[in-house]
Chain A
Amino acid sequence: DAGVIQSPRHEVTEMGQEVTLRCKPISGHNSLFWYRQTMMRGLELLIYFNNNVPIDDSGMPEDRFSAKMPNASFSTLKIQPSEPRDSAVYFCASSFQYGYGYTFGSGTRLTVV
């Protein structure tokens, strides 16, 4: 199994640009999570999906952030427009079912200048 696959690994963009992060969960996992990690705030849950349906997006910081999961094998997190304070490592994780631990992807390091 290839694990959770995220792309790109690194993204540098200018303030105001649109950024799209991509995630392919482990096949058979029915829950998908997007986290953001910074030194100051640690790991923060942004949104999670169960069976492709968004369950809780209360962690999405602003309307500039949106996430979709059009099918069981693909999800995107979009930031439009991006701001320097969005600079962080964004992790996608998937889980087989409730109560199980997650498997994390390698993350996308986003830098907004």
Chain B
Amino acid sequence: QKEVEQNSGPLSVPEGAIASLNCTYSDRGSQSFFWYRQYSGKSPELIMSIYSNGDKEDGRFTAQLNKASQYVSLLIRDSQPSDSATYLCAVNRAGNTGKLIFGQGTTLQVKP
């Protein structure tokens, strides 16, 4: 079992729809959770962080965390073609070492 798992996609949604990206992790003691966006040929860019159970909203983005189910998700409302990218889930291992483990990423395609 991989430490951080994501569906590779591609996930295709029409412009204006809600895109839902999911991630599961295996280390129950993980403390910090992050979503990165990576455009083709570019470096990953941090877009959301979440540390406690529940929802965290930032503009069109909402991160959801459920530690009991070891599940993190990212919702993108009113999806735009410019949101088309690969979204990487990253999890901080237990022990708060600062070491992030990344999932393989989910490719999102937003069609005009």
Q: Enumerate chain A interface residues (CB-CB to B < 8 A).
A: 31, 33, 35, 42-43, 45, 48, 50, 55-56, 91, 95, 97-107
Contact = CB atoms under 8 A, between A and B. Distances in A.
Q: Is the interface of B mostly helix, strand, loop or mixed?
A: loop
Interface string B82-112: 0000001010100011111111110000000
Q: Is the interface of A mostly helix, strand, loop or mixed?
A: strand
Contacts of A50: 98
Contacts of A102: 46, 100
Interface residues of B, number: 24
Interface of B: 31-32, 34, 36, 42-46, 49, 51, 88, 90, 92, 96-105
A104 B44 contact: yes
Given A42-B103, A50-B98, A56-B97, A99 B32 contact: yes
A42 B102 contact: yes
A43 B32 contact: no
